[in-house]
Amino acid sequence: MGNYFWFFLLAAVLCLPAGCGVNYTGNPDNDSTSCGNITMGQGKFAYADGFVYFTTDYTNIYEYDTETGKIVILDGKSDDVKSIYVQDDYIYFACNGLRRLSRDGKKVQQVMEREEGCIQLYAEDSDAYYLAPGIGGSLYHRNLEDGAETELLKDILAYYVDDTNLYAVADKDEIPCLFVGDREKLDLSVQELSFKKKKALQEVSCRFAEGITALLGPNGAGKSTLINILSTLISPDEGSVTWDGRDIREQKEEYLGDISVQFQNQPMQKNYTALEYLDFCGALKGMKKQEIRRQAEELLNYFGLEGERKKKIAAFSGGMRQRLALCGTFLGNPRLIFLDEPSAGLDIYEREELKRLLCERKKQCVILISTHIVPDIENIADHIILLSGGKIHSSGSQEALIQRIEGHIWELSEETDLPETAKVYHSDGKSLCYSPEKPCQGAVLKPADLTDVYFACLRARR
């Protein structure tokens, strides 16, 4: 009963109307502090080890001992305290930035400055999460050891963090959306990238987490430009890219050591044998000779090139060269893999083998696949980004994207007398259209799939 009494008491006090005074004189023994006439209003509080920490006037932070009833002022020098969180020997509180106060009240440390303030603070070990500048703003993560700050999600109304996952509710076009992510996953974040030549990219922001992310769009959508920026071949005119919370321009060789790229037209030394080519790739990655050969043999066998290891690349077919390029891409177990149209030149069997390999490796790294071919990523991508005209049209899991158009895809017997809202396209020799309502007589509703998402969102005509 004792452990719950303080909670109900404090809850009752907090529920009093703003401006209702509560007089507390404290315990007269020891160094008890009288708080005088405290106006509770919308005060924030946290509990740890039998103590309640709270703010009543957004300036002072109080400690309430639930056993003795004593209240002590720990900090009276902060302005606009909006959120409190207790961890181990410290009290973290959000105001005009993030501060850390020792629980004995003797030391205050400014962890970060943020002029517009932040709210809904959560801190644990070396991690802190918060919303800024307020509800509907962005959710940030800050490494309390090196100070690196990463914007995780935008338009966030509320969030919750447990031991492994982060849950966030966002307001997207006035529609609440729930995001669930693994706190420990590798993370590549793109913030408002623009490449103004031919408007190849226009303020693109997205995140690539551990697993497979597919960048799906027609030719000229900006997919290769984004891959080239992420692989540092070109620099954006605006925006930034962060890897594990740090700008890739600051990491330089460290970032390059984590990535592996297969371009649409992978350059190869045609006078090399397959093994010599992989020796060259491994040397560029700083691998030891013995490890290069061990992995090379494994990958060549995996991609069906074990009998071609000593053959000159000049004698390879287009599909064989593509498979060899994939061997070089996966050599060294990179943490971040970019694949630009990886199925080019592969037959149906080889494409399925590639999908199987990607599914086996996706738990160990971040894989970004750029393609305009839906079957290449269907049923294997954890997240899909639809890119068109240098802008992100929409994104989400395959299931979520399909759900958005489910019930709106119709097979047409003829393309006449269609409403203006209907979007017409052709797939598998059939005339189809996207329409919220039955577009015409004879139209038959069909189950939606990822191909319908691609055409309805990116390629359909009015």
Q: How many residues does the structure list for the chain?
A: 462
User: What pLDDT is recorded for position 91?
Assistant: 75
Q: Is 40 a member of any domain?
A: no
Tell me: do 317 and 193 sit in the same domain. yes
Single-letter code of the amino acid located at 46: A
Of 4-13, 134-143, 260-269, 399-408, the one with minimum mean pLDDT is: 4-13
User: What pLDDT is recorded for position 295?
Assistant: 93
Tell me: do 217 and 345 sit in the same domain. yes
Question: Average of pLDDT values for 441-456?
Answer: 89
Question: Average of pLDDT values for 96-117?
Answer: 67
Range of the domain at 222: 187-398
Structurally, the chain folds into a number of domains equal to 2
* Higher-scoring residue by pLDDT: 57, 357: 357
Question: Average of pLDDT values for 163-190?
Answer: 62
pLDDT tier at 257 (50, 70, 90 boundaries)? confident
pLDDT exceeds cutoff 70 at 4: no
Q: Is 18 a member of any domain?
A: no
pLDDT exceeds cutoff 50 at 300: yes
Q: Residue 119: how many CA atoms within 13 Å on its side-chain side?
A: 15
- Most confident among 81-90, 288-297, 391-400 (mean pLDDT): 288-297
Tell me: do 302 and 430 sit in the same domain. no
In the chain, the percentage of residues whose pLDDT exceeds 90 is 14
**Is the pTM for the entire model greater than 0.75?**
no
pLDDT exceeds cutoff 80 at 443: yes
User: What pLDDT is recorded for position 17?
Assistant: 34
Tell me: do 408 and 392 sit in the same domain. no
Integer-rounded Cα Rg, in Å, for the chain is 28
Q: pLDDT tens digits for 360-408?
A: 878 778 899 999 889 889 989 988 999 888 888 888 888 888 988 899 8
pLDDT exceeds cutoff 50 at 357: yes
In this structure, what CATH number is given to the domain that contains residue 361?
3.40.50.300
CB contact at 8 A, 193 and 201: yes
Q: Is 316 a member of any domain?
A: yes
Tell me: do 304 and 215 sit in the same domain. yes
Tell me: do 242 and 347 sit in the same domain. yes
- The DSSP string of 73-136 is EEE---SS--EEEEETTEEEEEESEEEEEETTSS-EEEEEE-TT--EEEEEETTEEEEEESSTT
Last residue of a domain, one of 398, 420, 439: 398
Tell me: do 300 and 409 sit in the same domain. no
Neighbouring C-beta atoms of residue 158, cutoff 10 Å: 13
Tell me: do 421 and 392 sit in the same domain. no
Last residue of a domain, one of 398, 414, 435: 398
Tell me: do 311 and 382 sit in the same domain. yes
Question: Average of pLDDT values for 233-250?
Answer: 84
User: What pLDDT is recorded for position 205?
Assistant: 81
User: What pLDDT is recorded for position 459?
Assistant: 61
* Higher-scoring residue by pLDDT: 123, 184: 123
Q: Is 160 a member of any domain?
A: no
Q: What is the rounded distance in angstroms from the CA atom of residue 150 to the CA atom of residue 247?
A: 9
